[in-house]
Chain A
Amino acid sequence: MVEVPDEVIRDLQEKATLLRRHILKMTHQVQSGHPGGSMSACDVVTALYFHILRVDPEKPAWVDRDRFVLSKGHACPVLYAALAERGFFPVPELMTFRRLNSRLQGHPEMGTTPGVENAAGAEGQGLSFGVGLALAARLDRKAWRTYCLMGDGEQDVGQTWEAALAAAKYNLDNLTAIIDRNGIQQEGRTEEILPIEPLADKWKAFGWNVLTINGHDFRQILHTIDEAHAHKGQPTVIVAKTTKGRGVSFMENVVRYHGAATSDEDLKRALAELGEVMP
């Protein structure tokens, strides 16, 4: 396994902080959207878009690109922020999020936003979609890989487990699933709404290679994705333990920030914590 230089980690951390600031501003300007689950997934998405994925912003439809499927569609602010910073569309466009005539829909729309690979919003469809992509890549003997980011709330959805069975049946080692295990869904703690633990054991029992990490530790994220690439004959799922609202002290682990934007005053405080002083 290749050692990742410290400066690479530092760059990713800075990029993630920038994306978190975008998430806060995007949801604040329209007083709508889902900051909490966008911030919990932010480090994983940053690692993918700024270190792992072979994508080309100049050619979003490049046939040999890696595919990133955002199954937890409500976390699209982090995806849009990553795509904009990666050059798929202009960064100022982020501030049109959820507004009339914007390309940045409240939940991802395929074909509208450059770089968005799937439609999501109704939970639990993304992994199946990823299975289809991975089957196609294998059929065509292509080296591109499919990554699918799920929420832990999506572990409630039956279709997630249908997809898990299918991926195991076809030994899809070109498919890497990541669960953003922040422990909170819309109405409360996952273990109170519908207990899903022991989650890693369930995925093991479904025939997957399971790796559990701290989803905010870039070194672990990169190493684990490398490990997933090296693992043959089985799909890999990475259970990324994260904190909802990660990066802003008063948003962390607060159920309300699943689907609530910050107030003007809180936005200032939040951005200050992320190193940006507003006038």
Chain B
Amino acid sequence: MNAPARPWKMESQRTYFANALVHLGEGNPNVVVVGADTTESIKTIAFGKKFPDRMFNIGISEQNMVSVAAGLAAAGKIAFASTYAVFGAAHTYNVIRQSVAYTKLNVKLFCSHAGLTTGMDGATHQMNEDIGLMRGLPNMAVLVPADGPQTGKATLAAAERPGPVYCRFSRADFPTVTGPDDPFEIGPAYVMRDGSDVTLVGCGIMVSRCLEAAEALAAERVSARVLNLPTIKPLDAASLAKAARDTGGIVTAEEHTIVNGMGSAVAAAVSQEHPVPIEMVGVRDTFGESGDGFQLLEKYGLTAAKVVEAAHAVMKRRDS
């Protein structure tokens, strides 16, 4: 998979998600959607307009949303439950645990407004802890697509996969770094750029930052491999171990707290398979604040420059 030429288009993950949902709805009468008074914002309303009898907007009752989706799934439906990540993943945690993860029901939790790029709404709405919450649940697959096209494909793949899936994406438009025909499956890490000196593992918007970082490193004659890791669980430990063996150092980059996020998952896997120095770029155990989403990424250190710095740190540790 190679990133399209720059400048990258900025596109909405929500739009790709919503279009994929409508596509699913056309092909399968068992696809239903449960929303929680955010259906316009998250764009599931497109599905509701097309299939009004299969869309249930049950108001600001996210715990109810999750269990209703589980009940629908128990009766044979593929139930998408969708709202903002802070409400869908955190407010509902024990309901997801008991009604969805424990039961292994066919519920797909698709949540937008993940991460700092939620922007002006501030810390209450910037969900930087959901990867950690969801990857801790047995039976739960956890997806963090890099961009719009990958979000659409993740939606289709989630519907195909039996059992619970959590997928997080942003309110903001993200640079489109994958092509329309690039493959997507739940599970694999995708090599976006090959390299031999260090590996940059990104998810979500940080895949684009890793690609930019790799270009900057190339100018310094450092050959960086870039892995797009859209599936945090089940984790592609083989590709990560290979990256560790091939390049001897790893940088992880995520729009999420470094406590128990993608970087932690990668570090745990790599430490068991082939330990190498690892540096993590992400939110450093703090809440966000109001502001433009991309300015927030700068302020909180979620930038290509920080990925480059981390790559140097990794190589220095490896070589010392």
Measured CB to CB, the residues of A under 8 A from B are 63, 67, 69, 109-111, 117-122, 125-126, 128-137, 139-140, 158-159, 162-163, 165-166, 169-170
Contact = CB atoms under 8 A, between A and B. Distances in A.
Top 8 nearest A-B pairs by Cβ distance?
A132-B71, A128-B67, A136-B75, A162-B61, A162-B64, A132-B68, A129-B71, A132-B72
A67 B59 CA distance: 25
A129 B67 contact: yes
Interface in B94-109: 94-95, 97-99, 102-105
B258 interface: no
A166 B77 contact: no
B245 interface: no
A141 to B, nearest CB: 11
A106 B217 CA distance: 57
A111 B104 contact: yes
A125 B75 contact: no
Contacts of A137: 75
B170 interface: no
A165 B37 CA distance: 14
Interface of B: 32, 53-54, 56, 58-59, 61, 63-64, 66-77, 79, 94-95, 97-99, 102-105
Contacts of B75: 67, 132-133, 136-137, 140
A110 B63 contact: no
Contacts of B104: 110-111
Nearest to A158: B63
Nearest to B60: A162
8 contacts: A110-B102, A125-B95, A126-B67, A128-B99, A131-B67, A132-B68, A133-B75, A136-B32
Contact of B63 (A117, A136, A159): A159
Nearest to B54: A139
Contacts of B77: 136, 139
B76 A159 contact: no
B63 A128 contact: yes
A161 to B, nearest CB: 9
B63 A129 contact: no
Contact of B67 (A121, A139, A159): A159
Nearest to B64: A162
Given A132-B69, A162-B63, 13 more contacts: A125-B67, A128-B68, A131-B64, A131-B67, A133-B71, A133-B74, A135-B72, A136-B72, A140-B76, A163-B64, A166-B59, A166-B61, A169-B58
A12 B122 CA distance: 59
Nearest to A144: B75
B102 A139 contact: no
Contacts of A159: 61, 63-64, 67, 95
Contacts of A140: 75-76
Contacts of B68: 128-129, 131-132, 135, 163, 166
A128 B100 CA distance: 12
B64 A118 contact: no
A54 B207 CA distance: 53
Contact of A122 (B70, B72, B98, B103): B98
Nearest to A71: B67
A132 B67 contact: yes
B71 A119 contact: no
Most buried by A among B58, B72, B103: B58
Nearest to B66: A128
A165 B68 CA distance: 12
A165 B59 CA distance: 9
Contacts of A119: 98-99, 102-103
A130 B71 contact: yes
A166 B64 contact: yes
Contacts of A132: 67-75, 79
A159 B94 CA distance: 12
Nearest to B105: A110
Contact of A136 (B64, B71, B99): B71
A118 B103 contact: yes
B61 A125 contact: no
Nearest to B95: A125
Nearest to B100: A119
Nearest to B79: A132
Most buried by A among B61, B67, B71, B94: B71
Nearest to B104: A111
B61 to A, nearest CB: 4
Contacts of B105: 110
Contact of A120 (B59, B72, B76, B98): B98
